[in-house]
Structure 1
Amino acid sequence: MGSQFTSFGFENLLNRHKIDHSYSTLGHPYDHAKIESFHSLLKREMIYQFRFPSIAHLILDVSKYIHWFNDERISVANRKTKVA
């Protein structure tokens, strides 16, 4: 696990925003397989494809990607837009 995810400062930031931090069991990354898969797609399909002029642009584009991923992408299984 990266030190940035276990640092005191990071934990304080999460606490200030009332975010619970979830850890995988050491050596068991499949504990969070769905989110790990999503992060992989996000990086492959968006992050590594573009240069972002600022953090604000990155945040906006990631927000748009998440909206598209959750609400607009076509399901491969049935070729229909996902229903909320």
Structure 2
Amino acid sequence: MTETTSIDAILRGVLRDVLGLDDARVAAFDADTGLFGHLPELDSMAVVSLLTEIEDRLDIVLEDDEIDGDLLETYGSLLAFVTAKRGGA
């Protein structure tokens, strides 16, 4: 399993667990799947829980100045950001 594949699996697990989404729905996410503003489960309160869980499970620190609307626009943008934070591809 590559680093990116591992991060993808962990990130999908975080979205499933924090937002209470079913496995099939999360498995269907692709790079263009909209997140904030598209998933009713991902409201402003859930963002904090989501980001905290990402930090915990992926052992990264998200700085305040890194968090913006683009980060949670799509699944692809979130995955790319987290992969870069982990030093991946």
The verdict on a shared fold, with TM-score over 0.5 as the criterion, is no
Q: Taking CA–CA contacts closer than 8 Å with sequence separation of 6 or more, which of the two structures ends up with the larger relative contact order?
A: 2
TM-score, reference length from structure 1: 0.30
